[in-house]
Amino acid sequence: MIESHLPALQVLIPLICAPLCLLFNNGRIAGILSIAAIWCSFLLAIFLFNQTLVVGQIFYEFGGWTAPYGIEYRIDIINGFVLLLVAGISAVIFPYSLKISIKEIYREQLHLFYALSNLLVAGLFGIIITGDIFNVFVFLEISSLASYALVSLGRDPYATTSAFRYLILGTIGATFILIGVGLIYATTGTLNMADIAVRVQGQFHNKAILAAFAFLTVGIGLKAALFPLHSWLPGAYSTAPTAVAALLAATSTKVSIYLFLRFVFLFGPAFIYQDLPLSEAITILALMGILVGSATALYQSDIKKILAYSSVAHVGYIILGIGLGDILGLTGSIVHIFNHAIAKCAAFMAVGCLVYRIGSSNINDIEGIGKRMPWTMAAFVVASLSLIGIPLTAGFIGKWYLVISAFEQGWWWVLLSLLLAGSLSVIYLWRIIEKAYFSDSNPQPLTVKEPPLLMLVPLLMVAAASIYFGISTTFSAGIAAQGAAAILGVSL
């Protein structure tokens, strides 16, 4: 009996855990409770994903109301994959955050951190598995509000400013999405995604549908930090507590991009690629994001900022795959959602370890730290290689698909910018590595040593994953290719 209700539990576990954290009003208990909850969710996500591999799609009708009228949860191979990613990343970051949060968040706010993280995760789970567009908006608001508050928990004096900026822009994005949802409801009379996809066909001359499409694209673009709507991201990532930055970088923007895929393809590939110039439009924006993000990263002196601008660039990579619009490009896009999440998570976690020991993430304060924290820096190097896209790391796989796709389409300018950005990333990431390993002036004091195992082990796990998924690609690239084929409605 309980088995049929598992999709609902996926969202409910963290959603219930959040108020419990508040009730206990104690950082440590809240932390342990959250870890238990997130690992339950992770196991559940694994189970559900395996189910989708067997049965294809899982349907769940909330409250027993049948599909077009009630809210439907629908898990297929693509969102099962994203679900697994988000649950997995969170399951690693929550234990990691136990130690570092004590240093980065005021003691009396610690239980708030866990309550909000649970809300964030619950919202993301909801966005991923729901099949109802209004429900998407609700969960999006839950996760967004939680992220604004999470960013503001940082002790950095600019944290509240960044959070406020994030709040303003995020709310504009959410409003756009709501308008889009409303217009779709007005024209098609339904909120169920599968239903919309059917009814919207043949309505493309309708200006309201076009407007809805435009509102959704811009709104989600804002949430996903697609250039030029990315200005909230660097500030939010660099001033937030590091565990929050890792969580947001690895899950939040990724889910927004997933949502972009979902919404855009509600209208069918023929409409968006042939009737509309979406392909050209978002390709140009993606490339601008890649180049501007990479170029700006060159001039940052805070490692978190460097990683944040690198995220802007990598969001560009992922969106570029959607712009390229063939099966190779989309495969690259989906697989890069997964691989970049892992690499960026590892990079932020490594920075967190540095912050834990030396209290700073400034590039000039880490001179010679490679000697004192060899494992942490080794993990950072692995993550950097993956971000650069060196073969045998996860980052190479998505890039390869994108490059091949650009060749097939004959888009030279795309190819050139893509490859140039790879070289730029060598420059901005190597600045950090060079400083960490070689110093001539003031080496780190002897008190600086490896972080506690509770931080180091999760970090090494994620770093190892970014090598594992660079070598064994049957899972990640295989699922991504299946997902891309399903989205485009072609067979592999």
Partner 1 sequence: MSGSWTILFAILTPLLGAVVIGSLTKIPNLRETASLVAALITLCLTASLIPTVLEGGRPAFRLLELLPGFTIRFQLEPLGLGFALIASALWFITTIFSIGYMRSKNYSDQTRFYIFFALAITATIGAAFAANLLTLYIFYEALTLATYPLVTHKGTSKDRAGGRIYITILLGTSLTFLLAAIAWTWSITGTVAFVDGGIFMDGNTLIDGVTPGQLAVILTLFVFGTGKAALMPFHHWLPAAMVAPTPVSALLHAVAVVKLGVFTILKISIYIFGIGTFSQLDIGQFILYIAATTLIVSAIIAIREDNIKRRLAYSTISQLSYIVIAAIIANSLTLLAGGIHIAIHAFSKITLFFCAGVILVSLNITKISELNGIGRKMPITMTSWVIASFCVIGIPLTGGFWSKWYLAQGALEANNLIITGIILLGSLLAFAYLIPPAVSSFFGNAKDQFFENKPKNMAEAPLPMLGAIVFTAIMSVALFFLVPAISTLLQGIEGLG
Could you tell me if 338 and 481 are in contact, meaning their C-beta atoms sit under 8 angstroms apart? no
What binding mask, one character per residue, do residues 425-464 give for partner 1 by CB under 8 A, x or -? Answer: -xx--x---x--xxxx------------------------
Nearer to partner 1, 415 or 461 (CB): 415
Among 16, 423, 449, 489, the residue binding partner 1 under the rule CB under 8 A is 423
Among 391, 475, 489, 490, the residue binding partner 1 under the rule CB under 8 A is 391
Among 280, 408, 442, 490, the residue binding partner 1 under the rule CB under 8 A is 408
62 binds partner 1 (CB under 8 A): no
Q: Tokens for 265, please give them.
A: 């393809």
Among 20, 67, 218, 390, the residue binding partner 1 under the rule CB under 8 A is 390
404 binds partner 1 (CB under 8 A): yes
Q: Name the helix (H) or strand (E) containing 78.
A: helix 77-104
400 binds partner 1 (CB under 8 A): yes
Write down how long the chain is. 492
Among 247, 287, 397, 487, the residue binding partner 1 under the rule CB under 8 A is 397
How many whole angstroms separate alpha carbon 418 and alpha carbon 400?
A: 10
Among 477, 479, 484, 487, the residue binding partner 1 under the rule CB under 8 A is 477
Q: How far is CA 102 from the centre of its chain?
A: 25
Q: Name the helix (H) or strand (E) containing 72.
A: strand 72-75
For partner 1, how many residues bind (rule: CB under 8 A)?
29
CB atoms within 10 A of CB 4: 11
Q: Give the interface segment with partner 1, choosing from 35-43, 201-209, 381-389, 455-463 (CB under 8 A).
A: 381-389
| CB of residue 394 to partner 1, shortest distance in Å | 12
Could you tell me if 187 and 206 are in contact, meaning their C-beta atoms sit under 8 angstroms apart? yes
Q: Give the interface segment with partner 1, choosing from 8-16, 154-162, 401-409, 448-456 (CB under 8 A).
A: 401-409
Instruction: Give me the phi and psi of 72, to 5 degrees please.
Output: -115, 135
Nearer to partner 1, 66 or 491 (CB): 491
Could you tell me if 322 and 260 are in contact, meaning their C-beta atoms sit under 8 angstroms apart? yes
Could you tell me if 205 and 275 are in contact, meaning their C-beta atoms sit under 8 angstroms apart? no
Helix axis angle, 27-55 to 6-24, nearest 10°: 180
- Written as one string, the DSSP assignment of 130-153 is B-BHHHHHHHHHHHHHHHHHHHHT
Q: Give the interface segment with partner 1, choosing from 15-23, 60-68, 396-404, 461-469 (CB under 8 A).
A: 396-404
Amino acid at 164: F
420 binds partner 1 (CB under 8 A): yes
Q: Supply the DSSP symbol for 238.
A: H
Q: Give the interface segment with partner 1, choosing from 193-201, 226-234, 301-309, 385-393 (CB under 8 A).
A: 385-393
Q: Give the interface segment with partner 1, choosing from 165-173, 227-235, 339-347, 387-395 (CB under 8 A).
A: 387-395
Among 131, 325, 389, 458, the residue binding partner 1 under the rule CB under 8 A is 389
Nearer to partner 1, 274 or 472 (CB): 472
How many whole angstroms separate alpha carbon 228 and alpha carbon 42?
A: 34
Could you tell me if 133 and 196 are in contact, meaning their C-beta atoms sit under 8 angstroms apart? yes
| CB of residue 441 to partner 1, shortest distance in Å | 9
How many whole angstroms separate alpha carbon 259 and alpha carbon 265?
A: 10
419 binds partner 1 (CB under 8 A): yes
CB atoms within 10 A of CB 255: 27
Nearer to partner 1, 130 or 473 (CB): 473
Nearer to partner 1, 139 or 469 (CB): 469
What binding mask, one character per residue, do residues 340-379 give for partner 1 by CB under 8 A, x or -? Answer: ----------------------------------------
Beta bridge partners of 379: none
How many whole angstroms separate alpha carbon 285 and alpha carbon 275?
A: 19
Work out the end-to-end distance of the chain between its first and last CA atoms, rounded to an integer number of angstroms: 36
**Binding-site ranges for partner 1 (CB under 8 A):** 385, 388-392, 397, 400, 403-404, 407-408, 415, 419-420, 422-423, 426-427, 430, 434, 437-440, 471-473, 477
